[in-house]
Amino acid sequence: MTAIEKHTINVTAIRSQFPILSRNINGKPLVYLDNGATTQKPQRVIDAITQYYANENANIHRGVHTLSQLGTDAYEATREKVRAFIGAKSTHEIIFTKGTTDSINLVAATFGRQNIQAGESILISAMEHHSNIVPWQMLCEEKGAKLNVIPINDKGEIIYSEYLKLLETKPKLLSVVYVSNALGTINPIKEMIADAHSFGVPVLVDGAQAIQHLAVDVQDLDADFFVFSGHKMYGPTGVGILFGKEVLLNAMPPYQGGGDMIKTVSFAKTEYNDLPFKFEAGTPNIEACICLGKAIDFLNEIGLEAIAEYEHSLLTYATEKLQNIEGIQFVGTATEKSSVISFNLEGIHPYDVGVILDKMGIAVRTGHHCTQPLMAFFQIPGTVRASFACYNKFEEVDKLVEGLTKVKKMFA
Ligand code: C6P
């Protein structure tokens, strides 16, 4: 049975939920292969935004009037949906943030400032996104601490023996990506967490590229912190999640001060609110938080196992087809990979490839993918990246291959 015949999900039915997928770009049907940057949104998410402003708009946690209570209920119902989606113990452990970047900065500014002192270290990996590098660098600068980096091999996999050696130096935190946005590598996160814990090291998992592709259970993983963005999982921009174990969140000071994160305020003293509100100062992005719940409904209806299986067959198919293009150089060839293919065409700048593909209606990302140290490791300025979602078709892979063949001819 071929990869095309084997898949179990109804891609036509899924695609019909995404209005943008039937539009043309530069006179050609859109082939959207930039899902690592952001996914498209199903109609139910788009409708929920309009519905919220047309019928339910009010501030939450503040009013006794009906609209405010409706909004509060919907907001808190989404928190429960997120809790169930990632298998957290309690809604106290689910903090709404602006996104992955905001979540990591929150942990750095609170847990980090509280627990990391001069001369101590934080451990990350060589394949991190800038948002899992820079906040830790800023903290290290402030504290006089050190940032250590787990090296990777030429396939783009963590060198596990080196990781274990670095754990022996007893870092105060391991902050590591689950799925690399630039390479697609799936790190052995459960094993990494277990090993970190055996050295008493807490772990933050950057799940920005995992949450939409793999079933996540934070209790099974035993993650201390797990962060992700709504917009990469078919939800709106401007909302993300910080999961943290309750015991850790309780011990952390608040991030920002303001409304909602307090119990009482006097000029002499402020008493902070309980979890999760302690970390949610000010009016949040209410409609985005509520609409994230609709995106979770969408994912639950298809099922993460079915999505993972289908996307894996897309990845296998695309890898087989692309490797027939002469002069293609794959960047990131890990044994365990998510549905991301990064590559370069010999002698052609990735930017040129991206611009020409766009003329054919094909959207890919080009450049360093906010992973400059990783690009430096591979000694390249960047790559062309095709990243797939559950609505992509095998025919779209064929169009990418045709497009790249044309690019090659133009540069021949
Ligand atoms: N990666 C990409 O095209 P925000 O911007 O906060 O939603 O997500 C940041 C982030 C953090 N970690 C990983 C692994 C990510 O992939 C991203 C976002 C996008 O690859 C935009 S650079």
DSSP class per residue in 357-384: HHHTTEE-EEE-TT-HHHHHHHT-S-EE
**173 pLDDT higher than 80:** yes
Task: Tell me the C-alpha distance between 176 and 196, whole Å.
Answer: 11
Tell me if 402 sits within 8 A of 381, measured CB to CB: no
Residue of 34, 96, 98, 101 best suited for mutating to test ligand 1, as the one with most atoms within 8 Å of CB: 101
- Give the pLDDT confidence score for residue 168 in this predicted structure: 98
**2 pLDDT higher than 80:** no
Tell me if 203 sits within 8 A of 196, measured CB to CB: yes
Active site residue 289: no
- Separation of CA 314 and ligand 1 centre (Å): 22
- Separation of CA 89 and ligand 1 centre (Å): 26
Q: Which amino acid is at 244?
A: G
**94 pLDDT higher than 70:** yes
Query: Could you tell me the CA-to-CA distances from 264 to 39, 63, 273 in Å, in that order?
Result: 41, 17, 8
Task: Give me the residue spans of the domains in the chain.
Answer: 11-32+303-411, 46-301
Instruction: Please indicate whether residue 365, judged by its CB atom, sits closer than 6 Å to ligand 1.
Output: yes
Q: How confident is the model at residue 63 (pLDDT cuts 50, 70, 90)?
A: confident
Catalytic residue among 140, 289, 291, 370: 370
Task: Tell me the C-alpha distance between 396 and 44, whole Å.
Answer: 24
DSSP 8-state assignment for residue 56: I
Q: Which of 230, 188, 256 is nearest to 100 (CA)?
A: 230
Average pLDDT over residues 241-270: 97
Query: What would the CATH number be for the domain defined by 46-301?
Result: 3.40.640.10
| CA within 13 Å, CB half, 195 | 15
**24 pLDDT higher than 80:** yes
Average pLDDT over residues 261-279: 97
pTM of the model: 0.98
- Separation of CA 218 and ligand 1 centre (Å): 20
Tell me if 3 sits within 8 A of 394, measured CB to CB: yes
What are φ and ψ of residue 367, in 5° steps? Answer: 120, -155
Pairing relationship of beta strands 31-32 and 362-363 according to DSSP bridges: parallel
Tell me if 243 sits within 8 A of 93, measured CB to CB: yes
Token pair listed for 376: 């430096």
Q: Which of 168, 201, 170, 178 is nearest to 125 (CA)?
A: 178
pLDDT digits (tens, 9 = 90+) for 150-167: 999 999 999 999 999 999
Residue of 370, 372, 383, 387 best suited for mutating to test ligand 1, as the one with most atoms within 8 Å of CB: 370
- Give the pLDDT confidence score for residue 319 in this predicted structure: 98
- Give the pLDDT confidence score for residue 214 in this predicted structure: 98
DSSP 8-state assignment for residue 336: S
Instruction: Please indicate whether residue 97, judged by its CB atom, sits closer than 6 Å to ligand 1.
Output: no
Alpha helices, H only, 240-342: 246-251, 286-302, 304-322
- Give the pLDDT confidence score for residue 7 in this predicted structure: 58
Tell me if 387 sits within 8 A of 33, measured CB to CB: yes
Ligand 1, residue 101: give the atom nearest the CA: 6
Tell me the torsion sign for CA atoms 183, 184, 190, 191: negative
For residue 62, list its beta bridge partners: none
Instruction: Give every CB contact of residue 43 below 8 A, 6+ residues apart in sequence.
Output: 17, 18, 19
- Give the pLDDT confidence score for residue 10 in this predicted structure: 97
Mean pLDDT for all residues in the chain: 97
**1 pLDDT higher than 60:** no
Task: Tell me the C-alpha distance between 81 and 349, whole Å.
Answer: 44
- Separation of CA 103 and ligand 1 centre (Å): 12
Q: How confident is the model at residue 6 (pLDDT cuts 50, 70, 90)?
A: low
Average pLDDT over residues 334-356: 97
pLDDT digits (tens, 9 = 90+) for 189-210: 999 999 999 999 999 999 999 9
- Separation of CA 159 and ligand 1 centre (Å): 23
**49 pLDDT higher than 80:** yes
Residue of 129, 342, 375 best suited for mutating to test ligand 1, as the one with most atoms within 8 Å of CB: 129
Pairing relationship of beta strands 383-387 and 365-367 according to DSSP bridges: antiparallel
Tell me which of 3.40.50.1360, 3.40.50.1970, 3.90.550.10, 3.90.1150.10 is the CATH number of domain 11-32+303-411.
3.90.1150.10
Task: Tell me the C-alpha distance between 96 and 284, whole Å.
Answer: 8
Pairing relationship of beta strands 94-97 and 31-32 according to DSSP bridges: unpaired
Instruction: Please indicate whether residue 385, judged by its CB atom, sits closer than 6 Å to ligand 1.
Output: no
